C-alpha cells in the first residue's frame, strides 16, 4: 500500500506537472474574481470565503480526470486489479495520493489567497480548518467519478457533470463554516456536519468506486 502511495506521489511530482496545475488554477480564479465583481474591499471580504471554497473545489475537479486515466491507458490499472491488494484499498490510496498532491496544497495556499480577497482576520483559521476537513471528501467523491468515467474517450466533461452535484453537500457545509467563521458566528453545527460527510464518504464511497472500477475493467 505504501509502495503504491509513494509511486503515485512520485508520478504526480515528476511527470506531467499535474501537481502545480491545481494550485495555479486556484490562484488564477482568485485573481479573476475582483476583476469580475469590482475591487471594493467590503464586497470582496463578504464573498471571500465562498469564492475561495468554490475555487478550491474547481481546482480539485481539474485534476480528477488524470487520477485513474493514466493508469488505465498504460494498463497498470489491470495489474493493480489482479494484485493481492483489494481494489477498495487501491482506490482509497489513489484518493489519498490525490488529496496529498491537490487537496493539501490548496489548503495551504488558501490563506495567502485570502489576503488577496481581504478575508476578515478571524476567517483565516476557519477557512483552513474547513478546507482541511472538506477536501478529503472532495478527493474521495472525485475518485468515484473518475472510476465511473475511466473507460470513456472524452470523459472529462462528463466527469464534471457527474461529480459537481455530488459536491453540493460538502460545499454547502464547508463554505458555511468559513462564512460563519469570518463573521464571528458559531461554527459548530456545520463543522460537525462537514466532518460527518467526510468521514462517511471515506468509509463508504471506496466500495462504490471499487465496484464501478471492476465493472469498467471487465
Partner 1 sequence: MSIAAKANALWEYANPRKFLATSERVMPFFWITSIACIVVGLTWGFFFTPDDYKQGSTVKIIYLHVPAALMAINCWLMMLATSLVWLVRRHHVSALAARAAAPIGIVMTLIALATGAIWGQPMWGTWWAWDPRLTSFLILFLFYLGYVALWEAIEDPDTAADLTSVLCLVGSVFAILSRYAVNFWNQGLHQGASVMRAAAITGADTEEKVSNIYFYPLLLCIIGFVLLFIALVLYRTGTEIRARRIKALLARERVNG
* Binding stretches for partner 1 (CB under 8 A): 144, 148-149, 151-152, 155, 158, 161-162, 164-166, 168-169, 172-173, 176, 189-190, 193, 197, 205, 208, 211-212, 215-216, 218
Nearer to partner 1, 118 or 139 (CB): 139
Least distance to partner 1, CB of residue 168, Å:
5
Nearer to partner 1, 101 or 149 (CB): 149
Least distance to partner 1, CB of residue 173, Å:
6
Taking the C-alpha atoms of residue 56 and residue 63, their distance in angstroms, rounded to an integer, is 11
Nearer to partner 1, 107 or 197 (CB): 197
Least distance to partner 1, CB of residue 211, Å:
6
Taking the C-alpha atoms of residue 112 and residue 124, their distance in angstroms, rounded to an integer, is 9
Run of H or E residues at 147: helix 123-148
Nearer to partner 1, 85 or 162 (CB): 162
Inter-CA distances, 118 with 23, 35, 41, 51, 207, Å: 19, 14, 6, 12, 41
SS3 150: coil
Taking the C-alpha atoms of residue 215 and residue 182, their distance in angstroms, rounded to an integer, is 45
Nearer to partner 1, 44 or 147 (CB): 147
Q: What are 19's three cell numbers?
A: 501537481
Least distance to partner 1, CB of residue 215, Å:
4
CA dihedral 22, 27, 30, 36 (to 10 degrees): -100
Least distance to partner 1, CB of residue 158, Å:
5
Amino acid at each position: 500500500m505504501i509502495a503504491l502511495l509513494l509511486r503515485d506521489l512520485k508520478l504526480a511530482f515528476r511527470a506531467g506537472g499535474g501537481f502545480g496545475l491545481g494550485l495555479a488554477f486556484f490562484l488564477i480564479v482568485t485573481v479573476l474574481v475582483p476583476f469580475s465583481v469590482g475591487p471594493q474591499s467590503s464586497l470582496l471580504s463578504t464573498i471571500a470565503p465562498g469564492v475561495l471554497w468554490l475555487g478550491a473545489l474547481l481546482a480539485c475537479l481539474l485534476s480528477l480526470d488524470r487520477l485513474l486515466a493514466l493508469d488505465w491507458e498504460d494498463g497498470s490499472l489491470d495489474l493493480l486489479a489482479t494484485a493481492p491488494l483489494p481494489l477498495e484499498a487501491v482506490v482509497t490510496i489513489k484518493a489519498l495520493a490525490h488529496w496529498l498532491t491537490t487537496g493539501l496544497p490548496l489548503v495551504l495556499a488558501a490563506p495567502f489567497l485570502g489576503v488577496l480577497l481581504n478575508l476578515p482576520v478571524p476567517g483565516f483559521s476557519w477557512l483552513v480548518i474547513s478546507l482541511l476537513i472538506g477536501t478529503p471528501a472532495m478527493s474521495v467523491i472525485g475518485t468515484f467519478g473518475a472510476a465511473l468515467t475511466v473507460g470513456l474517450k472524452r470523459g472529462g466533461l462528463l466527469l464534471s457533470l457527474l461529480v459537481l452535484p455530488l459536491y453540493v453537500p460538502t460545499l454547502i457545509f464547508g463554505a458555511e463554516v468559513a462564512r460563519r467563521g469570518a463573521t464571528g458566528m458559531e461554527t459548530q453545527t456545520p463543522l460537525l456536519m462537514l466532518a460527518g460527510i467526510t468521514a462517511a464518504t471515506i468509509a463508504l464511497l471506496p466500495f462504490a468506486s471499487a465496484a464501478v472500477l471492476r465493472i469498467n475493467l471487465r
